[in-house]
Amino acid sequence: MTRRVGPSRKGAANRAGGFTLLELLVAMSVMTVAVGIVYATFASVTDTMAIARENADRMAFRMALRRNLTENLGAVYAESTATREEFQLLGTDESGQYGPADKLRFCTSLPMPGAYALPGVMKVVEYSLVSSSDIDAAATGYPGDDPGRPGMALMITESPLAYQEGVQGAVSGSDQLPKVQRAVPVASFDVLYFDGLSQEWRKDWDSLSEQRLPWALWVRVNFPRSDEERAADSAAGVDLTETPDVDVMMPIATGAGIQGPFLDLNHARLDSASGDMKSDAKSSSKSHKSKKKN
């Protein structure tokens, strides 16, 4: 007896050899969803790593800049009369594209950093906001500009104190020491000076004209932000002038408590009657005026 195969068995045998179009479409749809989930996961991880790396860089810049300001401002030096230009503390108030772009120059009793340090050689420190296009990245170690970030940097220059010619105390070889420069990406640099006479914060200072130092310095620095970050800060009500990235307020030991010009100890004499110190320069100018009248 011969057994005949029905049509249903023929169809099953044919389907066993491949997939139908519907089955292929379903498989491709499932694969597309799986690939999308995996891509989204990797993209999220990559974005998180980029944000973490950016925050770490910003924290490193914040700590390095705070340490630099604290060390240098804590050792501001001024000679007894505040009349010599090489020891001048000069702060100017200027504005930049993204806020204050002040400049600050002063002398410290600290030596030059690293291998350039020589005993007895003080240094002059200058802070100025410059364009990143003017920076030699190879020499200063500037990290470079990120896309969408302002190309501004705080240039920190430390150089050995240049003694005036003929002044005693110059150390042999100090004129051969090079400048040490480093650049930190910032958007603004704001410096205020506390005046002991008016008991107010001032926007600029010149120790040569004032013949004294401020009682304290207040430095506020903000780092670059993208448009998205600035929009987020604005939406959150963050005021960068009130909560800057770096906020350093340092008393100036050599200026604190002084309300008048420094006493010129090189031309001072002791009044035997009162025991007070008086300046020969002032007394000589008075006698010169009296001679003119006579």
Strands laid side by side in the 123-131 sheet: 180-185, 152-160, 123-131, 103-108, 90-92, 205-206
Q: Report phi then psi at 60, rounded to 5.
A: -65, -45
CB atoms within 10 A of CB 224: 21
Q: How many CA atoms, within 13 angstroms, populate the side-chain half-sphere of residue 94?
A: 15
Domain ranges in the chain are 50-251
Q: In the prediction, which pLDDT does 238 show?
A: 77
CB atoms within 10 A of CB 49: 10
* Cα distances (angstroms) measured from residue 179 to each of 113, 140, 164: 10, 11, 18
Lowest mean pLDDT of 18-22, 63-67, 141-145, 281-285, name the range. 281-285
Which of the four pLDDT bands, split at 50, 70 and 90, describes residue 189? very high
Residue 269's SS3 state is: strand
Among 208, 250, 206, residue whose Cα is nearest residue 73: 250
In this prediction the pTM is 0.68
**Structure-token pair, residue 66:** 């705070």
- DSSP characters over 203-247: S-EEHHHHSS--SEEEEEEE----HHHHHHHHHTT--TTTS-SEE
Please determine, for residue 66, whether its predicted confidence score (pLDDT) is greater than 60. yes
Contacts of 34 (CB under 8 A, 6+ apart): none
Q: What residues are paired with 101 via a beta bridge?
A: 189
Q: In the prediction, which pLDDT does 151 show?
A: 75
Lowest mean pLDDT of 5-19, 93-107, 231-245, name the range. 5-19
Handedness of CA 259, 262, 265, 269 (dihedral sign): negative
**Bigger pLDDT: 291 vs 215:** 215
The percentage of residues in the chain with a pLDDT greater than 90, rounded to a whole number, is 25
Distance CA 153, CA 51 (A): 21
The per-residue pLDDT of the chain, averaged, comes to 76
**Structure-token pair, residue 99:** 């806020």
Q: In the prediction, which pLDDT does 8 show?
A: 53
Residue 63's SS3 state is: helix
Q: Determine how β-strand 200-202 pairs with β-strand 205-206.
A: unpaired
- Number of continuous H segments (helices) and E segments (strands) in the chain: 6, 14
Please determine, for residue 178, whether its predicted confidence score (pLDDT) is greater than 70. yes
Q: Is 13 exposed, middle or buried (0-12, 13-18, 19+ CB in 10 A)?
A: exposed
